[in-house]
Structure 1
Amino acid sequence: MRADLPENANALRALLDWYVQSGVDLALDEAPHDRYADSARAVAASLTEPAESMAMLQTLPQPTAAERPRRAAAPIAAPDEAIRAAEQEASSARDLDELAARLADFPHAPFRDMAQHFLFGAGAPGARLIAFDAAPGVTEEASGEAFSGLSAKLLDNMLAAIGFDRSSATLAYVSPWRPPGDRALSPREAAIFAPFARRRVELARPDVLLIFGEAPARIMLTTNEPVGKLRGKAFEARCGAHVARAFVFSSLEAMLKSAALKPAAWRDLRKAAEALESASNGAQL
């Protein structure tokens, strides 16, 4: 046995960890493969299983959480197919609990099989104010608690400045799973999560949205404009049958790194507070 084998094994494990953090989730060889065709054949084969076999499987005792193996990777779907499937799943949800369950089980969701925790959000469901961030970060992934990192503390301080906290506001993610390496959501990934995020707003019916960063702004305002051109303005976010007043901010991470972004954020925060007050006065009338 080679004396340096343990050291090599540790290096290989470190390399695999680095691949996972970088988003590599499939091993390739030198021969080309049609992955869409492979997935279609797998789905077709599953649909042709005898009914007797399926009935037998349903009668078997279910494993405990500790005994349950890691779920298999979902069949690969073309981007347009994944988006259409997301739209169908999201529109079928009748309330926020069902929406969360449908999203957690959605097989084509990016990062679903790579992250450790499904983090739908925090705060009060159905609140008048929803703050949208892109995705959980390292602290949330390690703790399993949504909105628990430094950026969440900044958000808590911002909410407190206008008289809100987690008992009166909803904190939501576009992606309930942490992207590998904390990278930004790609346009395709944001498009897959978009139906669930927009349906969340439609079901919760908030008066005001606070939108942090590029991906949430793209989704809620259906725009490709950069955040810099969206700050300082009030928008109408139309999500299904509901319309909410929306305000765009730099990402929480960017504001943590650059104090120069905070004065503009404070001005927009005051505008959001005025919109909430106007909505309350309108409801009382």
Structure 2
Amino acid sequence: MNRSGPDMTPEEAAALLSFYVEAGVTDALGDEPVNRYALADEAARSAPVPLARAPEAPRTIRADPRGEMAPPPAARVAAPAAIPLEDAQAAESAQIAAARCNTLEELRQTLAAFEGCPLRYTAKNLVFADGNPQARIMLVGEAPGRDEDLQGLPFVGRSGQLLDRMLAAIGLDRTSVYIANTLPWRPPGNRTPTPAEHAICMPFIERHIELMAPKVLLLLGGVSAKQLLRTDTGIMRLRGRWTTARIGECDIPALPTLHPAYLLRQPAQKRLAWRDLMSFRAWLDETSAD
């Protein structure tokens, strides 16, 4: 007969605890009710008062591809996230390694040999890039998923199939664009990457863009937009608004839009992505005549 409470032996308690861990139990319930709303209120009252935010720098009003003047969103410049010293050293090593690369192939080989990012040890393959490296259009996504990790190519799963259809809708395909991600390795279980992982990989995607030298960037999703535009403004405020990404010594026109994976979860938002694609196509048509 199973026993519980004070009648349990230490061995039985250890076995029960092990079962709970394997079953994924994360919270324990007591015999007495707990008012968790009151606990939340108490925690809020005891929380430290946040420091005042520094004043935002003035933003330049830019013209959209149709020549209409529209103010950009009040983007907030993201402060560098504090990361452990070991990760900061890895990010510095990444900066040095990336700067030494003079070709895309050298960058690929450097990434394949780089040991400073823990993601490489849980991923099956390096996901470097796909498409035409001679194209003037570069798409930058967030991180590889399961299918991308297995094949070593970006955007080959369900979100990649949707991306292909999105490109086809404006007369593009993978022979006319170049595709990469801010992270070249899949986070285990598709979890959210840590600030340290982003900081370590940032020099590589920036060097990737420098070497590819695109004429325009299409930023897929909030992660790539925030990283490359150095802002903490959300993607719903950034999307559809032309801006400039400062990469190295170059200013590159950039248009943030919604990630295909998000559109699979929220099909109603495809109408917003379609507007962004129309704006992107208009930019391409106007600049191709120059």
TM-score > 0.5 by shorter chain: yes
Aligned CA-pair RMSD: 2.3
216, 230, 243: which one pairs with 1:222? 230
Please give the secondary structure, in 1, of the residue aligned with 2:246.
strand
Please give the secondary structure, in 2, of the residue aligned with 1:111.
helix
Higher-RCO chain (CA-CA 8 Å, sequence separation at least 6):
2
Q: What CA distance in whole angstroms lies between the structure 2 residues aligned with 1:170 and 1:79?
A: 30
Structure 1 window deviating more from structure 2 (195-204 vs 273-282): it is 273-282
Structure 2 partner of 1:81: 89
Structure 2 partner of 1:184: 192
> Which string of whole-angstrom CA distances, capped at 9 and with x for unpartnered residues, describes residues 32-87 of structure 1?
xxxxxxxxxxxxxxxxxxxxxxxxxxxxxxxxxxxxxxxxxxxx961221221111
Note if 1:157 corresponds to 2:165: yes
123, 129, 137: which one pairs with 1:121? 129
Q: What CA distance in whole angstroms lies between the structure 2 residues aligned with 1:279 and 1:198?
A: 24
Q: What CA distance in whole angstroms lies between the structure 2 residues aligned with 1:156 and 1:249?
A: 15
Structure 1 partner of 2:177: 169
Q: What CA distance in whole angstroms lies between the structure 2 residues aligned with 1:243 and 1:280?
A: 18
Amino acid at match of 1:236: T
Q: TM-score, normalised to structure 1's length?
A: 0.69
Structure 2 partner of 1:3: none
> Which string of whole-angstrom CA distances, capped at 9 and with x for unpartnered residues, describes residues 209-234 of structure 1?
11112221122111111111211200
Q: What CA distance in whole angstroms lies between the structure 1 residues aligned with 2:116 and 2:188?
A: 16
Amino acid at match of 1:235: T
Q: CA offset at residue 268 of structure 1? A: 1.0
Q: Which runs of 5+ in 2 are unaligned?
A: 1-17, 25-83
Q: CA offset at residue 145 of structure 1? A: 4.2
Q: CA offset at residue 249 of structure 1? A: 1.6
142, 162, 166: which one pairs with 2:150? 142
Structure 2 partner of 1:193: 201
Q: TM-score, normalised to structure 2's length?
A: 0.68
Instruction: Compare CA radii of gyration and give the structure with the larger one.
Output: 2
Note if 1:98 corresponds to 2:98: no
Amino acid at match of 2:279: K
Is the CA contact 1:207–1:279 (under 8 Å) kept in the aligned structure 2? no
Is the CA contact 1:131–1:170 (under 8 Å) kept in the aligned structure 2? yes
Q: Which runs of 5+ in 1 are unaligned?
A: 1-10, 19-75
1:1-285 to structure 2, matched below 5 A, reads 78-282=86-290
Q: CA offset at residue 277 of structure 1? A: 2.3
Please give the secondary structure, in 2, of the residue aligned with 1:210.
strand
